[in-house]
Amino acid sequence: MAALLGLLGLGKLFPTPPTQPSMAAHQACSALVANCPSFTLTYPSGIANANYQYATNHYWSNANIDGTPACVVFPTSAEDVSEVIRILLHYPSVPFAVKSGGHNANVGFSSVAGGVLISFQNSYGTILSADKKTAVVGPGARWMDAVGALEPYGLTVVGGRLGMFRFQYWKKTKY
Protein backbone atom coordinates (compact mmCIF):
# COMPACT_ATOMS: atom_id res chain seq x y z
CA MET A 1 0.00 0.00 0.00
CA ALA A 2 2.79 2.42 0.91
CA ALA A 3 4.51 1.79 -2.43
CA LEU A 4 1.25 2.50 -4.29
CA LEU A 5 0.75 5.75 -2.35
CA GLY A 6 4.36 6.66 -3.14
CA LEU A 7 3.81 6.06 -6.87
CA LEU A 8 0.75 8.30 -6.72
CA GLY A 9 2.77 10.99 -4.95
CA LEU A 10 0.75 10.57 -1.75
CA GLY A 11 3.36 8.73 0.32
CA LYS A 12 4.11 11.68 2.59
CA LEU A 13 0.41 12.33 3.24
CA PHE A 14 0.06 8.81 4.65
CA PRO A 15 3.55 7.91 5.92
CA THR A 16 4.49 4.37 6.82
CA PRO A 17 5.55 4.05 10.45
CA PRO A 18 9.34 3.66 10.54
CA THR A 19 10.89 0.27 11.17
CA GLN A 20 12.10 0.31 14.74
CA PRO A 21 15.90 0.09 14.74
CA SER A 22 17.42 -2.78 16.68
CA MET A 23 19.51 -2.22 19.78
CA ALA A 24 22.59 -2.95 17.65
CA ALA A 25 21.53 -0.25 15.17
CA HIS A 26 21.17 2.26 18.00
CA GLN A 27 24.62 1.27 19.26
CA ALA A 28 26.15 1.57 15.78
CA CYS A 29 24.60 5.01 15.31
CA SER A 30 25.82 6.09 18.75
CA ALA A 31 29.34 4.96 17.81
CA LEU A 32 29.09 6.86 14.52
CA VAL A 33 27.93 10.02 16.31
CA ALA A 34 30.78 9.67 18.83
CA ASN A 35 33.45 9.12 16.18
CA CYS A 36 32.02 11.07 13.24
CA PRO A 37 29.91 13.85 14.81
CA SER A 38 30.40 16.32 11.97
CA PHE A 39 28.64 14.13 9.42
CA THR A 40 26.20 11.83 11.26
CA LEU A 41 22.49 12.50 11.80
CA THR A 42 20.21 10.16 13.74
CA TYR A 43 16.48 9.46 13.66
CA PRO A 44 14.34 11.13 14.93
CA SER A 45 16.47 14.14 15.91
CA GLY A 46 17.88 14.53 12.39
CA ILE A 47 14.59 14.61 10.52
CA ALA A 48 14.37 18.42 10.60
CA ASN A 49 17.78 18.69 8.92
CA ALA A 50 17.68 19.46 5.16
CA ASN A 51 20.52 16.98 4.41
CA TYR A 52 18.67 14.21 6.27
CA GLN A 53 15.44 15.02 4.44
CA TYR A 54 17.14 14.99 1.05
CA ALA A 55 19.01 11.74 1.76
CA THR A 56 15.88 9.89 2.90
CA ASN A 57 13.29 11.37 0.53
CA HIS A 58 14.93 11.79 -2.89
CA TYR A 59 14.93 8.54 -4.83
CA TRP A 60 14.22 7.64 -8.42
CA SER A 61 11.74 5.06 -7.16
CA ASN A 62 9.39 6.19 -4.40
CA ALA A 63 9.34 2.63 -3.03
CA ASN A 64 12.74 3.41 -1.47
CA ILE A 65 11.27 6.24 0.62
CA ASP A 66 9.34 3.79 2.83
CA GLY A 67 12.38 2.71 4.85
CA THR A 68 13.54 5.01 7.64
CA PRO A 69 17.22 4.64 8.56
CA ALA A 70 18.32 4.70 12.18
CA CYS A 71 20.96 7.22 11.12
CA VAL A 72 22.48 8.78 8.03
CA VAL A 73 26.18 9.50 7.55
CA PHE A 74 27.48 11.98 4.98
CA PRO A 75 31.15 11.19 4.32
CA THR A 76 33.11 13.59 2.13
CA SER A 77 36.39 11.68 1.77
CA ALA A 78 37.74 8.15 1.45
CA GLU A 79 39.03 8.50 5.02
CA ASP A 80 35.50 9.28 6.25
CA VAL A 81 34.13 6.22 4.44
CA SER A 82 36.89 4.08 5.93
CA GLU A 83 36.01 5.28 9.43
CA VAL A 84 32.31 4.53 8.90
CA ILE A 85 33.04 1.01 7.64
CA ARG A 86 35.54 0.42 10.45
CA ILE A 87 32.78 1.23 12.95
CA LEU A 88 30.12 -0.80 11.13
CA LEU A 89 32.37 -3.88 11.19
CA HIS A 90 31.75 -3.99 14.96
CA TYR A 91 28.00 -4.32 14.28
CA PRO A 92 27.62 -7.11 11.70
CA SER A 93 23.87 -7.49 12.29
CA VAL A 94 23.14 -3.86 11.40
CA PRO A 95 21.95 -3.41 7.82
CA PHE A 96 23.41 -0.54 5.83
CA ALA A 97 23.01 0.89 2.36
CA VAL A 98 25.14 3.16 0.19
CA LYS A 99 23.42 5.96 -1.71
CA SER A 100 25.03 7.93 -4.48
CA GLY A 101 22.08 9.32 -6.39
CA GLY A 102 19.35 6.90 -5.33
CA HIS A 103 18.56 5.72 -8.84
CA ASN A 104 18.45 2.00 -8.08
CA ALA A 105 14.82 0.91 -8.15
CA ASN A 106 15.48 -2.08 -5.87
CA VAL A 107 14.40 -1.41 -2.30
CA GLY A 108 17.33 -1.77 0.07
CA PHE A 109 20.07 -1.20 -2.50
CA SER A 110 20.37 2.53 -1.79
CA SER A 111 17.90 2.73 1.10
CA VAL A 112 17.65 0.97 4.44
CA ALA A 113 14.97 0.50 7.08
CA GLY A 114 16.24 0.65 10.65
CA GLY A 115 19.92 0.60 9.70
CA VAL A 116 22.67 2.98 8.56
CA LEU A 117 22.40 4.96 5.33
CA ILE A 118 25.72 6.12 3.88
CA SER A 119 24.84 9.08 1.66
CA PHE A 120 27.38 10.57 -0.73
CA GLN A 121 25.32 13.68 -1.50
CA ASN A 122 27.98 15.95 0.07
CA SER A 123 30.85 14.35 -1.85
CA TYR A 124 30.39 15.90 -5.26
CA GLY A 125 33.63 17.62 -6.24
CA THR A 126 35.46 17.17 -9.54
CA ILE A 127 39.25 17.51 -9.41
CA LEU A 128 41.30 17.51 -12.58
CA SER A 129 44.85 16.12 -12.39
CA ALA A 130 47.84 18.38 -13.13
CA ASP A 131 48.46 16.62 -16.47
CA LYS A 132 44.74 17.02 -17.33
CA LYS A 133 44.39 13.32 -18.17
CA THR A 134 42.41 12.15 -15.15
CA ALA A 135 39.53 13.60 -13.22
CA VAL A 136 38.55 12.41 -9.77
CA VAL A 137 34.80 12.75 -9.44
CA GLY A 138 33.05 12.39 -6.10
CA PRO A 139 30.39 9.68 -5.90
CA GLY A 140 27.73 12.28 -5.11
CA ALA A 141 28.52 14.42 -8.16
CA ARG A 142 25.88 15.03 -10.77
CA TRP A 143 26.80 14.73 -14.43
CA MET A 144 26.06 18.41 -15.05
CA ASP A 145 28.49 19.43 -12.27
CA ALA A 146 31.30 17.16 -13.51
CA VAL A 147 30.86 18.24 -17.12
CA GLY A 148 30.74 21.88 -16.01
CA ALA A 149 34.00 21.51 -14.09
CA LEU A 150 35.79 19.89 -17.05
CA GLU A 151 34.32 21.98 -19.88
CA PRO A 152 36.67 24.99 -19.40
CA TYR A 153 39.58 22.63 -20.17
CA GLY A 154 37.99 21.24 -23.34
CA LEU A 155 37.31 17.92 -21.57
CA THR A 156 34.20 15.94 -20.79
CA VAL A 157 33.10 12.56 -19.45
CA VAL A 158 30.98 9.91 -21.10
CA GLY A 159 27.90 9.02 -19.13
CA GLY A 160 24.21 9.58 -18.56
CA ARG A 161 22.08 11.80 -20.74
CA LEU A 162 20.39 13.79 -17.99
CA GLY A 163 22.49 16.19 -15.92
CA MET A 164 20.64 15.61 -12.65
CA PHE A 165 21.88 12.03 -12.19
CA ARG A 166 24.78 11.21 -9.89
CA PHE A 167 27.94 9.22 -10.51
CA GLN A 168 28.33 5.71 -9.19
CA TYR A 169 32.15 5.60 -9.06
CA TRP A 170 34.95 7.47 -7.33
CA LYS A 171 37.10 7.95 -10.41
CA LYS A 172 36.55 8.60 -14.11
CA THR A 173 39.43 8.54 -16.57
CA LYS A 174 39.75 10.48 -19.83
CA TYR A 175 40.89 8.27 -22.70
Whether 115 and 131 share a structural domain:
no
**Pairwise CA distance, residues 58 & 20, whole Å:** 21
Whether 112 and 58 share a structural domain:
yes
Domain boundary among 104, 119, 134: 119
Whether 158 and 73 share a structural domain:
no
Whether 146 and 108 share a structural domain:
no
Q: How many domains does the chain have?
A: 2
pLDDT in tens, the chain (175 residues): 455 445 555 444 444 445 688 999 999 999 999 998 888 888 878 778 888 888 888 888 888 788 889 999 999 888 999 999 999 999 999 999 999 877 778 888 888 999 999 999 888 889 999 998 888 888 888 888 888 999 999 888 876 555 555 554 434 444 3
Q: What is the DSSP string of 111-150?
A: --SSSEEEE-TT---EEE-TTSSEEEE-TT-BHHHHHHHH
CATH code at position 110: 3.30.43.10
| Chain mean pLDDT for the chain | 80
Residue 18's pLDDT is what?
A: 56
End-to-end CA distance of the chain: 47
**Parent domain of 81:** 2-119
Whether 42 and 89 share a structural domain:
yes
How much is the pTM?
Answer: 0.76
Residue 172: its H or E element: strand 171-173
Whether 8 and 92 share a structural domain:
yes
